[in-house]
Amino acid sequence: MINLFLLCFLCAPLMCLSSSISGGFSILRDHDSLRKFASEEQVYGLFRLWQKQHRRVYPNPQEEANRFQIFQSNLKHINEMNAKRESPSQSRLGLNKFADLSPEEFREIYLHNVNMAPNTATKFKKDDSCDHDVPASLDWRQKNAVTSVKDQENCKSDWAFSVVGAIEGINAINTGKLIELSAQQLVDCDPKSHGCAGGFYFDAFGWVIDNGGIDTAADYPYTATNGSCQQWKKAVSISALSFIAFGTDDAILCAVAQQPVTTSVNAVDFQFYTGGIYGGDNCDKNSTTATLVVLIVGYGTENGEDYWIVKNTWGQDWGEKGYIRIKRNAGWPYGVCALNFAVGYPTQSTSSSSSSSTSYGAVLQA
């Protein structure tokens, strides 16, 4: 009887867990519920349910045992970080699809050192002024200027998706047509970037300008691999690149109020993010290190805390349906985790869909 009682005691949380998953609400991402799984038996049951939800199958028992150990370690970290939350708006972590990857493996697969423009500091032109009204909040997704969140898979093509996202945005704003553009063409064709090993987003904008445009995703689909460059049709063109270096929150706000913008961020803590406003817990406030290129698509305020709405490329089953909110007006020199360090956004001539021979140019702001 005692053994049966103990078995029921151990299995009860798992039965609830299974019911929650089948009902559409995943307890694996619920930071309050995860703390209830303390014993190794309970955590293993959690691991098995996580495997089922993410259809994870391992080649042998040894690999499964190794992944379970990593899963246990990650759960401990998630619970420790969630316990430090000081407000309901603060970011929370959960057992998402990356829960069986060690932090080192995650960085190797999804992050890369984002190179900045060399020796350009003397060319920056200070301009913090706004010549247009800035609303209190804005979400370009609600204005049909943002395409769906993509999954870069095992290709570090975040830079390419962010660049095409910015071009998609300004083109939709100017023409009223939201056209999904080809990140794969940038992966294959931009000679100054490194394809699935990472890229320099300012150079990628330059390639689109010098090429006279970029193709659609439908005609040049994503493969998540390095391929040979195919020069297809030039569906959408841009005429110039503007960027804000060492930007203030106000200067970037002025830009985002006009269109989605490309930037980079140190994403070392993003692995288990499931929601809330990320405040950069483990980033050096003075660092300019960036490991991921993203797209800012809006901004807002929750419970008195300002944030940016940031589109990522790890699929819609990560974060807030593929997005992360990052703290705005945090008082950091380069924004939270260097988000403000180098922001770029394209401009278009009146003939946005025609071929353009405009040289690669930049308007520099600070």
270-288 pLDDT tens trace: 999 999 999 998 899 999 9
C-beta of residue 20 within 8 angstroms of C-beta of residue 26: yes
Q: What is the pLDDT of residues 281-317, one digit of tens each?
A: 889 999 999 999 999 999 999 999 999 999 999 999 9
DSSP alpha helices (H): ranges in the chain?
Answer: 2-22, 31-34, 40-54, 61-83, 103-110, 158-175, 183-189, 201-211, 249-256
Residue 41 pLDDT exceeds 60? yes
- Compute the distance between CA of residue 182 and CA of residue 198 in angstroms, rounded to an integer: 16
- The more confidently predicted of residues 349 and 275 is 275
Where does the pLDDT of residue 351 fall: very low under 50, low under 70, confident under 90, or very high at 90 and above? low
Residue 318 pLDDT exceeds 60? yes
Where does the pLDDT of residue 129 fall: very low under 50, low under 70, confident under 90, or very high at 90 and above? low
Residue 124 pLDDT exceeds 90? no
Two tokens, residue 94? 């959960």
- Compute the distance between CA of residue 150 and CA of residue 63 in angstroms, rounded to an integer: 29
Q: In 3D, which of 197, 113, 191 has the Cα closest to residue 155?
A: 197
Where does the pLDDT of residue 30 fall: very low under 50, low under 70, confident under 90, or very high at 90 and above? low
Where does the pLDDT of residue 130 fall: very low under 50, low under 70, confident under 90, or very high at 90 and above? confident
Q: What is the pLDDT of residues 202-245, one digit of tens each?
A: 999 999 999 999 999 999 999 999 999 987 889 999 999 988 87
> Quick one: average pLDDT of 54-70?
95
- The more confidently predicted of residues 191 and 148 is 148
C-beta of residue 50 within 8 angstroms of C-beta of residue 99: yes
* pTM tops 0.75, yes or no: yes
Helix 40-54 vs helix 2-22: crossing angle, to nearest 10: 30
